[in-house]
A and B are shown apart, each in its own frame.
Chain A
Amino acid sequence: MKFLSMSKWFMVVLCMSGVLLQYGCAFKDIDKRLFVSAIGIDPAENVENGYKVTLKVALPFGAIKDSERPSFAYLSREGQSIGEAIRMLETHVDKVLELGHMKTIIVHEKLLRDDMQSFMDYFIRRGDIQLIAYVAGARPSAETILKVEPNTEAPASVALINFFGATANDSPYVVTTYLFQLRRDILADGINPVLPLIETNAGGDELIVNNSVVVDGREDPAVLSTIETKYFNSLLKDSTGFTYLVKEGSLKLLLNFSQSKMTYQFVPSKGSGAPRAIDMHIVMKGTIGEANKDLSIAKLDDYNSLASKDVKQRVMHFLTKMQEENLDPFGFGLRYRATRLHTEDIFTTWQKAYPDIEFKVTVDVKLQGTGSIE
């Protein structure tokens, strides 16, 4: 017993002394850290092929309940690489820059091409950056967008974060793309990632997110219009809150869709295995939200077909536009690869077939009522 307790004490002393020698290198109090809440990347003005990195640092405020406005500090620096610029920015502040809470990465519109690889590499290689950070494009520049402090922003919160991820804002016009998702889609064959595009108004006190960009490594990104963004979101991600205006003669109907579901299949061409057409079926369910005439429930079927026809047209337009630009935000190519047994040239077959593929869209609108009044 004595022997054991001796060795026990010896162990304890040994461990404690070891700990005391090493102790303190990772211990840093929360008030000695600066939380970077967003990072903006612009092309550098003075450094060739470099970047200008802007950090938005959320400052903790004495009494949060009393302060009216959130307070932020902005740090900017140009450098050859993002990592280098951030390292240098660390020398501009008195505290540790903590990137663990960095939730939004805003990239200048112009940089959303081949540069993407290198940023993502940095962000993912650093272990402490969240992979569930949102990535967005910025117009006119990332720095301007970061410096916008909207009036609706509450203290101790960051407006940029609330836009995405369906935490606060659920609008079908807002596309959410996480960092890991962006990486996955860029590296995968057969899908192009879509990023939200953040803009600001003339006064510089509002953030507007209703457009998006389709990123393709080779050329300048294609911007999706507001309407296209809405379609993209509701078809692929079943976003709710989708409204739609039907005009037929003097009748104007505003439809609110609560569900939309898209399924599609590849139609193989005779002879070769290449796909000839995509057979797409869209089902949308909803109610009538606004009308300029009296409606009757009996005529719901008429409204259904009216809406179906219209939606079909728009979807067709969107799909063919993407096809013309040779972009694939829906990931048809990926699905094609997933539904065929693997062969060496499966993806080249698809790439050849996609520009000429035919879309056969059927839309099935199912209105379930006329809202709370007839």
Chain B
Amino acid sequence: MDEATCHIEPPAYFTRLATRLEPTADIVKKTLKSRDRVVHLLYLKSVVDMMQLQEIVVKPFYEMSAEQNFAEYIQSLPYETKMPTGDEEVLIEITKGNVFVMIDKQITLLELKIVAANAVQEAIMEPTIHGPQLGLSESIETNINVIRQRYHKPSLIIEPMQLEDASNRDIALIYDEERVKPQLLKIIRKRILTLEVELVQGSSDLQYYMNNKKYSLFPTSLLTERPDRILHNMAVGKVIILVDGSPHAIIAPTTFFDFMLSMEDAYYSFWVVSLIRFLRYAGLFTCIMLPSIYVGVTSYTPEVLRTELALTVAASRIGVPYPSFIEVFFMLIFIELLTEASMRLPNSISATATTVGGLILGTAAVEAALTSNIMVIVVSLVAISTFVIPISEMNYAVRVCRFLLLLYTTAFGLAGMVLGMLGLLLYLVNKDSFSEPYLRMFWKNRQEELKADDS
């Protein structure tokens, strides 16, 4: 029997592919042989589902009588992937978990991959009380499945793409053909295909690279793990980009207001949502402006305060050796450190860190007259209101803005603060996300407004 197998030399093409994959340990070259029928299999055992391979390929092979039958059988299998042209592409397919099957001259790729991390994960970044509790998984197929499950329309298009980077990751553009603007699709495709990067790890850094500008503060596309957010945006004609191996989807293009929207807004009654939205925008303005207001008011125009408050603030600053802006910078940096630290630590320790940092250090700093009580209140208020912003990328951007505005106010006083805010507004309005205006008002229907621009 051994002799017989030895006789069958694998075809040249098969050997060529095998040798290119060669030194890796998980490569399997197999030749199935029964009587005069021969089938060559080439796959990587770490990414292929062995059980399925056994069930679908190996077993039928020995049960079927004629070679012709088996070739037809393989071709009829639903697992077949399209055969790419060129060796390199075929090899990439094999590394993705396809089984290369060669029967005589017929070559087929069967997708029998096994993905360890295909479980749908709980939504951690954007938790809501109502709405779907589960987010996306780390497998692109599962994610597409999650989306399809909620959006039954033939116009939903899944457009596969492949990155030209080191990892050859699978990417899919998902959009509703009837709603999306063709111009936008063209821009996004071009952006992705012209990327010149070494390695894309997942959607987060893809998003960064797609931003197209090296120094950019505000995000122009949105990362989400919530299927309802994906659908919400797809339904208004946006494009979703999924990257294999990443539990986040990119939504593009985005406007500033998208970042201020929590999916929970859709699940409550009008007045409740109005209140929540009001709070959210109030939080946004507080966390950008409050430190600046403190500096502007205490050091430039204390007339703004009521007399009683002015006296209280002045009293709380007695003995503080530094000018107000240094005090604010110190305290802000301190609170940023605290936030960063509690994010990196495991849950059980982070609570301790916050307590020690926030409560004990804060009180001690006031006792030691390094800072004023009012300052501690201001900083805590700022820290709390930062977290009201639902999307974390915007959250980070806003934290940076705060410092810039503080600089401007320190130099120019309250008027500087207002001008600084206007400057920020100008910057945001002037920004565009995939050639759509980033910040603008929508009175009527979004689509109508956009159409009015084009006409």
> Do A and B touch (CB < 8 Å)?
yes
B376 to chain A, nearest CB (A): 15
Contact-residue bracket for chain B: 20 to 34
Contact among A19, A29, A58, A63 with B317 in the assembled complex (CB-CB below 8 Å) = A29
Residues of B within 8 A of A33 (CB): 302, 314
A360 to chain B, nearest CB (A): 46
Q: Closest residue to B302 on the A side, CB-wise? A: A30
- The answer to whether B318 has its CB under 8 Å from any CB of chain A is yes
A132 to chain B, nearest CB (A): 12
Instruction: Bits for A76-111, please: 1 = Cβ < 8 Å to B, else 0.
Output: 000000000000000000000010110100000000
- The answer to whether B115 has its CB under 8 Å from any CB of chain A is no
Residues of A within 8 A of B411 (CB): 19, 23
Task: State whether A29 touches B298 (Cβ < 8 A).
Answer: yes
- The answer to whether B291 has its CB under 8 Å from any CB of chain A is no
A62 to B319, CA, bound (A): 9
- The answer to whether B313 has its CB under 8 Å from any CB of chain A is yes
B325 to chain A, nearest CB (A): 8
Residues of A within 8 A of B299 (CB): 27-30
Q: Of the listed stretches A156-164, A207-215, A237-245, name the one at the interface; the rest are far from the partner chain.
A: A156-164
B374 to chain A, nearest CB (A): 10
Contacting residues of chain A (171-191) with chain B, CB-CB under 8 angstroms: none
Task: State whether A156 touches B323 (Cβ < 8 A).
Answer: no
- The answer to whether A355 has its CB under 8 Å from any CB of chain B is no
Task: State whether B320 touches A37 (Cβ < 8 A).
Answer: no
Q: Of the listed stretches B23-31, B48-56, B189-197, B304-312, name the one at the interface; the rest are far from the partner chain.
A: B304-312
Task: State whether B312 touches A30 (Cβ < 8 A).
Answer: no
Instruction: Bits for B380-422, please: 1 = Cβ < 8 Å to A, else 0.
Output: 0000000000000000000000000000001111000000000
- The answer to whether B303 has its CB under 8 Å from any CB of chain A is yes
- Given known A37-B307, A158-B307, A161-B307, contact A100–B320 (CB-CB < 8 A): no
Closest 7 CB pairs of A and B: A100-B303, A60-B315, A60-B314, A30-B298, A31-B317, A156-B311, A30-B314
Contact among B298, B303, B318, B320 with A101 in the assembled complex (CB-CB below 8 Å) = B303
- The answer to whether A122 has its CB under 8 Å from any CB of chain B is no
- The answer to whether A128 has its CB under 8 Å from any CB of chain B is yes
A62 to B312, CA, bound (A): 9
Task: State whether B311 touches A35 (Cβ < 8 A).
Answer: yes
Contacting residues of chain B (394-452) with chain A, CB-CB under 8 angstroms: 410-413
Instruction: Bits for A16-56, please: 1 = Cβ < 8 Å to B, else 0.
Output: 00010001001111110101010000000000000000000
Task: State whether A58 touches B307 (Cβ < 8 A).
Answer: yes
- The answer to whether A61 has its CB under 8 Å from any CB of chain B is yes
17 CB contacts below 8 A, A to B, read A26-B300, A26-B413, A27-B300, A28-B299, A30-B310, A30-B314, A31-B317, A33-B314, A35-B307, A60-B311, A60-B312, A60-B318, A64-B312, A98-B303, A100-B301, A100-B303, A128-B303
Task: State whether B302 touches A101 (Cβ < 8 A).
Answer: yes
A112 to B302, CA, bound (A): 31
- The answer to whether B324 has its CB under 8 Å from any CB of chain A is yes
A130 to B312, CA, bound (A): 20
A37 to B307, CA, bound (A): 8
A100 to B307, CA, bound (A): 9
B408 to chain A, nearest CB (A): 9
Task: State whether B310 touches A62 (Cβ < 8 A).
Answer: no
Q: Closest residue to B313 on the A side, CB-wise? A: A30
Residues of A within 8 A of B303 (CB): 98, 100-101, 128, 130
B452 to chain A, nearest CB (A): 30
A60 to B75, CA, bound (A): 89
Task: State whether A62 touches B308 (Cβ < 8 A).
Answer: no
Residue among B310, B311, B318, B410 with the highest chain A CB neighbour number at 10 A: B311
A130 to B324, CA, bound (A): 25
B258 to chain A, nearest CB (A): 27
